Amino acid sequence: MYPVPRVSAEHLAARRRQIVDAARRCFLREGFHRTSMQDVIAEAGLSVGAVYRYFPSKNDLINAIAEEAVSGAGEVLAGLARHDPPLPLVEALDRVLTYVETQLGADGVLRIAIQVWGEAQRDPALAAFVAEKYTGFRSQFGLLVRRAQQAGELPAGTDPDAIAAALFALVPGWFTQRILTGGPDRRTYLAGVRALLGATPLD
């Protein structure tokens, strides 16, 4: 008998990437419900078995893409929470929105994120995933707020969790407007936030 050739981890990762990218293109073009696994298989240019080996169902593909849609933002927030010295809150928000802006293109993950929100209304497992991730984002904003309190930017007696929830809401509030209406641009939006908060404009 001949030995079965071993497949490298790099090959497996590349094949998985190929399938996820194909699924994302299909979902952006047709939406979750109008896209079938056969559509993804055709888009990827792979065999049925090759695709199902990695993703047994369309829901598995949706979950993988949802994970990608939020992972980059989580990394940015974690980096901001470690920044020394602590950044002013509006500057931290500016850096988050700067990252978000890179994901707003026609093939950006944020257009998928809006579909994920809708799908989460009917899929309890996806809803739990979204709730977990977004709760984590709020917690990271909470770290930023607590550091702002320690730095004297905010009064010590303010509720950091309440402020964190409001700050977090500013992120999807902006990119949803951008996707649905085309505006406002990031600088205009941040100017409005600074005016509301009474913050000093950045140069």
Residue 49's pLDDT is 94
Residue 68's pLDDT is 81
User: Which has the closest alpha carbon to 158: 146, 170, 143?
Assistant: 146
Residue 22's pLDDT is 96
Residue 8's pLDDT is 85
Residue 2's pLDDT is 52
Residue 199's pLDDT is 61
55: left (phi > 0), else alpha (psi -120 to 50), else beta?
Answer: beta
User: Which has the closest alpha carbon to 55: 82, 94, 16, 29?
Assistant: 16
Residue 20's pLDDT is 95
Q: Which domains does the chain have, with CATH numbers?
A: 7-56 (1.10.10.60), 62-197 (1.10.357.10)
Tell me how crowded residue 9 is: count the other CB atoms within 10 A of its CB.
8
**103 exposure class (CB count in 10 Å sphere: 0-12, 13-18, 19+):** middle
Residue 16's pLDDT is 95
**15 exposure class (CB count in 10 Å sphere: 0-12, 13-18, 19+):** middle
Residue 40's pLDDT is 97
For the chain, which ranges sit under pLDDT 70?
Answer: 1-7, 199-203
Distance CA 45, CA 18 (A): 9
| pLDDT tens sequence across 12-39 | 899 999 999 999 999 999 999 899 999 9
Encode the chain in three state secondary structure: CCCCCCCCHHHHHHHHHHHHHHHHHHHHHHCCCCCCHHHHHHHHCCCHHHHHHHCCCHHHHHHHHHHHHHHHHHHHHHHHHHCCCCCCHHHHHHHHHHHHHCCCCCCCHHHHHHHHHHHHCCCHHHHHHHHHHHHHHHHHHHHHHHHHHHCCCCCCCCCHHHHHHHHHHHHHHHHHHHHHHCCCCHHHHHHHHHHHHCCCCCC
Residue 166's pLDDT is 95
Residue 73's pLDDT is 86
